[in-house]
Amino acid sequence: MGAFALERTLGTAHRYASAGEPAKATGNRPTFRIRSVLELQGEVRLKNQGPGVERRNGKQLVARTAGVQSTATLDYDEQVQRDPILGDTCVQYFHEASTEIKVDTHVTKTQLRDSCREIVKHSAPTGMISASPAQPLFAAERDLVEGSLNTMYLDELLTDDQVGIGDKWNVDSAAVARLLNLDAVHDGNLTVCLVESNKEQAQLTIDGRVTGSVRNVATEMVVEGKAVLDRRGGFVSWLALQTQETREIGEAEPGFEITAKLRIIRAAADAMSHGRTVDDAMRDIPSWESAAMLQFQSDRGFYRFLADRRWTTYRDNGEEATLRFIVGNRRVAQCNIANLIDYEPGRQLSLEGFQADVQRWIDTAGHEILEASERLSSTKHRLLRVVVGGTTEGVPIRWIYYHVSNDEGRRLSMTFTLDESSQETFGDQDQQLAGTIELLAWPSKLNPEELREETKPTPSKAASTPKKTSAR
């Protein structure tokens, strides 16, 4: 078999097709039907929150570990639009998207909601954005649809060069980062080899070691696999990868050491099965900034809100919750949320009363109130906001206190804490979060006192489960 090009540009795939017309997947907007199954097992490494944590070179040496195993199944249509200036975009329509994760003895199941079956992915300067035009995703749904490999870039395993049996080539490091959902590749490479070919297909092998980062957290991957090129269509139609990955413990997420096995089947399609295109989906995205918002919901605290995807729920026991705003693997701010005793319907706390409460809290610390305001949120809840400035151990700190209430008597408090030097990075995150919070009615069949008692964490339970309620 003579040499031929494994062209990665689908628009020119017909140049090396063996015979006949190119498949519908070629062209400026290739469309595919894709099914993938991911199975992984290993261990997660949880951050030790106690005092005196031992570190070396900034890395935590002492951490708790727990076994982890997971299976994720995705079945979807995908249409891709390339744009070297505005960034690549694709629309996906999911026929199936589900996962089951077991950490230690705790099992979590996630299934993409029917209303979110259409997903748009956009390669922005800040990274890949995955969003549902219909409504904001939960964090678990976002992680599910993003998967371990970005099929938008599967054909970047191919090469533009003329190759023959036994020839090898290295995949560009930027392409490796896009394919493996990494922010960057710092060292190593993926090598592809053409091992067999006929008029219909070409058999490829893939192997390599890659050191990179995800949200400024170091990770190392050892990759080994096989792929099949559909020579008529000019695309990768089948892929099987085994990846061993070791990731450091991050500020927002645990570290892990896992072995993952991924299988992908990919076929050209005439059109998206739900009848829409990339353009149709993009028209429903008002802005990528708004599309990137996630929906956070406390199933035990009975409230929800929209927030930047850089917020992470650290704990949530129903009565109290702690969220952290992590940027570049650095904790910029913390938000503490607490449910308050209900008022009778129609009763409201005044701004003056809330200021007086805050003043009593800060009197002994020598802090001062900088500003106070009140407004209605987008969900028609009453927001009282008081900003306090002061120092803690010589570090200038800013506290932003909120009292949130509705006409039915539901109330909660929110306290944002950040150092003064982080104000520019933090921006108006507090107003975005508080402005979209929605207090849900308590369940009519549950006694609130029994609910509060049931959701109090025990020491052993709190230690084994750092995130009670994910940012779903």
For 87, the token pair is 């960034």
Do residues 308 and 324 touch, judged by C-beta distance below 8 A?
no
Strand partners, 72: 38, 99
Judged by DSSP in three states, 418 sits in strand
pTM of the entire predicted model: 0.84
Amino acid identity of 305? F
379: left (phi over 0), alpha (psi -120 to 50) or beta: alpha
The whole-angstrom separation of Cα 108 and Cα 140 is 10
For 170, the token pair is 């290295």
Tens-binned pLDDT, residue by residue, of the chain (472 aa): 445 556 543 333 332 333 233 333 444 689 999 999 999 999 999 877 654 445 555 555 546 899 999 999 999 999 999 988 888 999 999 999 999 999 999 999 999 999 999 999 999 887 899 999 999 999 999 999 999 999 999 999 999 899 999 999 999 999 999 999 999 999 999 999 999 999 999 999 999 999 999 999 999 999 999 999 999 999 999 999 999 999 999 998 899 999 999 999 999 999 999 999 999 999 999 888 888 899 999 999 999 999 999 999 999 999 999 999 999 999 999 999 999 999 999 999 999 999 999 999 998 888 999 999 999 999 999 999 999 999 999 999 999 999 999 999 999 999 999 999 999 999 999 999 999 999 998 887 555 555 455 444 443 333 333 333 333 3
List, as own/partner pairs, every contact residues 47-51 make where C-beta atoms lie below 8 angstroms and the sequence separation is at least 24, other chains included: 47/249, 47/254, 47/466, 49/466
Residue 315: its H or E element: strand 311-316
Report the CATH number of the 4-283 domain: 2.30.230
Comma-separated ranges of CATH 3.40.1000.10 domains in the chain: 293-464
Q: What is the pLDDT of residue 331?
A: 95
Q: What is the 8-class DSSP label of residue 233?
A: T
User: Widest CA span of the chain, in angstroms?
Assistant: 84
Angstrom CA distances, 335 to 40, 120, 233, 323, 356, stand at 33, 30, 51, 5, 21
Q: What is the pLDDT of residue 452?
A: 52
The correct answer on CATH 3.40.190.10 for the domain covering 293-464 is no
Q: Nearest to residue 362, comparing CAs of 335, 400, 324, 414?
A: 400
Q: Nearest to residue 264, comparing CAs of 244, 243, 237?
A: 237
Comma-separated ranges of CATH 2.30.230 domains in the chain: 4-283
Do residues 366 and 388 touch, judged by C-beta distance below 8 A?
no
The whole-angstrom separation of Cα 367 and Cα 109 is 45
The whole-angstrom separation of Cα 449 and Cα 456 is 11
Q: Can you give the C-alpha Rg of the chain in angstroms?
A: 25
